[in-house]
Amino acid sequence: MKGEVQLEAIEVQEPGDSDPLLENQAESSSSPGGSTEIKDEDDIESGSIPCCRICLESDAEPEDEMISPCMCKGTQQFVHRSCLDHWRSVKEGFAFSHCTTCKAQFHLRVESFEDNSWRKIKFRLFVARDVFLVFLAVQTVIAVMASFAYMMDKDGAFRNSFSDGWDRILSKHPIPFYYCIGVLAFFVLLGFFGLILHCSSLNSNDPRMAGCQNCCYGWGILDCFPASMEACFALVIVFVVVFAILGIAYGFLAATMAIQRIWQRHYHILTKRELTKEYIVEDLHGCYTPPKLDPENEERLKMLKLL
Task: Note the pLDDT tens digit of each residue in 206-259.
Answer: 555 555 555 554 444 555 555 566 777 778 888 888 988 999 999 999 999 988
Burial, 82: exposed, middle or buried (Cβ in 10 Å; 0-12, 13-18, 19+)?
A: middle
Q: DSSP letters of 176-233?
A: HHHHHHHHHHHHHHHHHHHHHHHHHHS-TT-HHHHHHIIIIIS-GGGGG--SSHHHHH
Residues 172 and 226 in one domain: yes
Domain co-membership, 146 together with 233: yes
Co-location of 254 and 286 in the same domain: no
* pLDDT above 50 for 164: yes
Q: Is the same domain home to 146 and 236?
A: yes
Is residue 164 assigned to a domain? Answer: yes
In a domain, 8, yes or no: yes
Query: Are 14 and 68 found together in one domain?
Result: yes
Residues 257 and 295 in one domain: no
Any domain includes 230: yes
Is residue 69 located within the same domain as residue 158? no
The answer to whether the beta carbons of residues 56 and 13 sit under 8 Å apart is: no
Evaluate whether residue 292 is within a structural domain: yes
Kindly report the average pLDDT of the chain as a whole number. Answer: 74
Q: Mark whether 136 and 263 lie in a shared domain.
A: yes
Looking at the structure, do residues 140 and 210 belong to the same domain, yes or no? yes
Percent of the chain residues topping a pLDDT of 70: 69
DSSP H helical segments within 35-115, as ranges? 36-46, 81-90
Evaluate whether residue 114 is within a structural domain: no
Number of domains in the chain: 2
For residues 161 and 251, state if they share a domain. Answer: yes
**Considering the domain boundaries, does residue 159 fall inside one?**
yes
pLDDT tens digits, one per residue of 59-93:
767 677 888 888 888 888 888 888 888 888 888 77
192 belongs to a structural domain: yes
Q: What is the pLDDT, as a whole number, of residue 136?
A: 94
pTM beyond 0.75: the answer is: no
The domain containing residue 138 runs over which residues?
132-268
User: Residue 14: pLDDT above 50?
Assistant: no
**HEC string for 233-294:** HHHHHHHHHHHHHHHHHHHHHHHHHHHHHHHHHHHHHHHHHHHHHHEEECCCCCCCCCCCCC
Is 258 found in the same domain as 150? yes
Note whether 164 and 59 are same-domain residues: no
Task: Identify whether 127 is part of a domain.
Answer: no
